[in-house]
Structure 1
Amino acid sequence: MTDVVLVLRHGERRESVEKNRRETAERVHDPGLTDRGRRQADRAAERLRKADVGEIYASPFLRAVQTAAPVADAVGVPVRVEPGLGEHLDPERFDAHPELLGRAERVERFPRTDTDHRPLLEPTFPEDAADAERRIGETARRILDSADADRVLFVGHRATVDGVAHGLVGSAEGVEAPPCGVTEFARDGGENGEERGTDWRVERSGDAAHLDGEA
């Protein structure tokens, strides 16, 4: 049974600093990380190297997979790409379901991709914020129903952090999600001989101490 869930938001994305990116981008709605974002991901990987992460699940958006890759290398665990953890498909941001990196290219670029993983939940377009929260929360619960690891890592977006919070503790109020910040949820009980419960609590929110001094 999983007792700890860690949620890592992706690092700084290119779209946030390259204002004209959409005019030349191959996949308009799937920006990757900036150089700074990659450094942030490397810092997060060092932070999580000794976190005893046993399973990693990532949103299929490029910036999330790029963030998950160095963590997977650091802890020696494959990345299971899970669409249900993906970005909120807001019709005000997307005009259709976004085109993402294809599976074959993803596996080639990120060798630690788990090719045996089959998606648990496919998002539908369009969806409002509440729909996205429910979808991500349901995905998190499905993952935990079958997870074998004591500690599981999800890598995604602000919406991923919020959705997991809603799915596990019922609310994302007060939960922060800075780029490459780590939010930790712990299952009540399970220590000092206590029976492990079904309730979850927020242990830490948007912790980005590992990024101190990152320019």
Structure 2
Amino acid sequence: MQADVSPDPVLASYRPPSQLVRDKEIDHLDAHCRAFVALAPFAVLSTADAAGAPEVSPRGGDPGFVKVLDEHRLVLPDRQGNNRLDSLRNVAANPQVALLFLVPGVEETLKVYGTAALAGPDVPGLDLTEFGRAPRSVLVVTVTRAYLQCAKAVMRSGLWDPAAQVDRSALPPFGTMIRDHCRLETPLPDDATLRAELALEL
């Protein structure tokens, strides 16, 4: 990690990061990173298209649904979804990706950066039976940077605090929001039916 040398006055107003913050970034998945990925049931995938327009996509499954092949490669399965394929189309045009892993009850997070390649089910060293139902495709990520993020953001948000959970009734049903987004005149099915019809992964 290099110090910011931007002349922007706002950036210049920040103090430099400590040496510890600089040094925590590594170029591979060490034992701690691999253990974190193995426990994570949820990750956020960040991609961008050829023009740099960003996309973020939540990905989830059983703990360890992202498989680590070795200290420089991990595999993210593509589960059945809504077939927009935004992230996959982006990777086909621009391989730069980032992943943010979360483990329930753990306030630290793991950031992983690298380049991704879209692949079918024949990745060397990958046993697709580990995924349960075989995915149609996977992203093979070659890791270039990884580091553990401190707990401050998760602590401030109260993310894992049961008392901080919002009652679902605070928002309209999913179907109502989708109907309004699409400007439909007729109501949509109940949420459970709608999710099944859209093949959304929960």
Instruction: Place the TM-score, normalised by the shorter chain, in its bin.
Output: under 0.3
Name which structure has the greater RCO, CA cutoff 8 Å, separation 6+: 1
User: Which of the two has higher C-alpha Rg?
Assistant: 2
**TM-score normalised per structure 1:** 0.24
More helix by percentage:
1
* TM value normalised by structure 2: 0.25
